[in-house]
Amino acid sequence: MKRVVVTGGAGFLGSHLCDALIQRGDAVVCADDLSTGRLDNIDHLLDLPAFTFAHMDVSEGLEVSGPVDVVAHLASPASPPDYHRSPLGTLAVGSRGTEHALRLAAREQARFLLASTSEVYGDPAVHPQREDYWGNVNPIGPRSVYDEAKRFAEALTMAYRRSVGVDTGVVRIFNTYGPRMRPHDGRVVTSFITQALNGDPLTIYGDGSQTRSFCYVDDLVRGLVAMIDSDEPGPVNLGNPHERTVSELAAAVVALTGSSSPVEHHPLPVDDPTRRRPDIGKARAVLGWQPRVDTEEGLRRTVDWFRTRMDEVAAAAPMVAGEQVGGAGVPAASPVAAGPVAVGRS
């Protein structure tokens, strides 16, 4: 049994990680400021003796009493509208928050897991992305608050490994989806599912030819746990290598939901990566990990979960002041020119 501190443990991925750790008998301290996470996600854990919730901003500090075996640092906004809404907070949690989490790991001689991201590859000039590719990131664009915060977090983690001797592990997570995502978090899977279930147009940014590779949450969490249990420093890519275009994803969601929603094209956000697919050879080799759930099955499970929350799905999407990208009801993705550019049927 381990005692694991999970920062960002009330979020989408963090809450599933807390579940997996509790299920196997670990004790968990979940540290979260609830900025993008929700108590609902961990409600079923709150009364368990093995689970503690600490409402705190890890950019301000991370004090945990008692022994700690693992610090899993997931705290950070992850959805583009979330990090555009809080650019300074995103930089703070990637820098100061990561340092507080590393200091705790150093003091407790704990294993440290950093949840980094495929965004460290930026708009990749190498495809698929292997861990030895250094990336192509615009350091001053609107996405840089997230990309560079994570790149700094990786650098800080490696420095604590080399100069302080902390047992660190870095994973680079590629687009992951599943139950407990906020219906209006603005990420593409949630946007398409809520739009399809509401009979609203699916908002495709750009011409829809950009690609992503979507991993189901259960697979991803198995990879996080494998990384916690290993002494592998990483970085290790975790993601599903099945690549598809955004238009293909829209068509798959429309088919799965039986929706008659049309698609509606909006301007592409600034610096939106044109393609993304993980090479997971290293994860296979060092963790024995690979995804098991194919995208259709994962999307079906996610749609089923959203169908049980139709009140929330049907509620109006929140707007971000000054960042609205298009027609009414469209949540912001990043600062771009306003107005839909084309409407068509998927």
Question: Interface with ligand NAD by CB under 6 A: which residues?
Answer: 7-8, 10-14, 32-37, 57-59, 74-78, 82, 93, 97, 115, 117, 173, 175-176
Residue 201: φ, ψ to 5°: -65, 140
Closer residue to ligand UDP, CB minimum distance, 84 or 161: 84
CB-based contacts of 244-247 (< 8 A; 24+ apart in sequence): 244/211, 244/212, 244/213, 244/214, 244/295, 245/208, 245/209, 245/210, 245/211, 246/188, 246/204, 246/205, 246/206, 246/208, 246/209, 246/210, 246/211, 246/212, 247/204, 247/207, 247/208, 247/209, 247/346
Residue closer to ligand UDP (CB basis): 14 or 269: 269
Which of 84, 180, 212, 282 binds ligand UDP (CB under 6 A)? It is 212
Residue placing its CB nearer to ligand NAD in the complex, 144 or 346 = 144
For the chain, what's the residue count?
346
Q: Which of 146, 160, 205, 216 is catalytic?
A: 146
CB of 100 to ligand NAD, least distance (A): 9
33 binds, among ligand UDP, ligand NAD, none (CB under 5 to 8 A by kind): ligand NAD
Residue entry with tokens 């890519």: 237
User: Among ligand UDP, ligand NAD, none, what does residue 272 contact (CB within 5–8 Å per kind)?
Assistant: ligand UDP
Residues 236/302, Cβ–Cβ less than 8 Å: no
Interaction of residue 175 with ligand UDP, rule CB under 6 A: yes
Structure tokens that stand for 6 in this block: 């999970």
Torsions phi, psi for 343 (to 5 deg): -130, 135
One-letter amino acid identity for 46? L
Among this protein's residues, is 146 annotated catalytic? yes
Binding partner of residue 58 among ligand UDP, ligand NAD, none, CB cut-off 5 to 8 Å per kind: ligand NAD
Q: Segment near ligand UDP (CB under 6 A), from 21-29, 35-43, 66-74, 202-210? A: 202-210
204: contact with ligand UDP by CB under 6 A: yes
Catalytically active residues, by annotation: 146
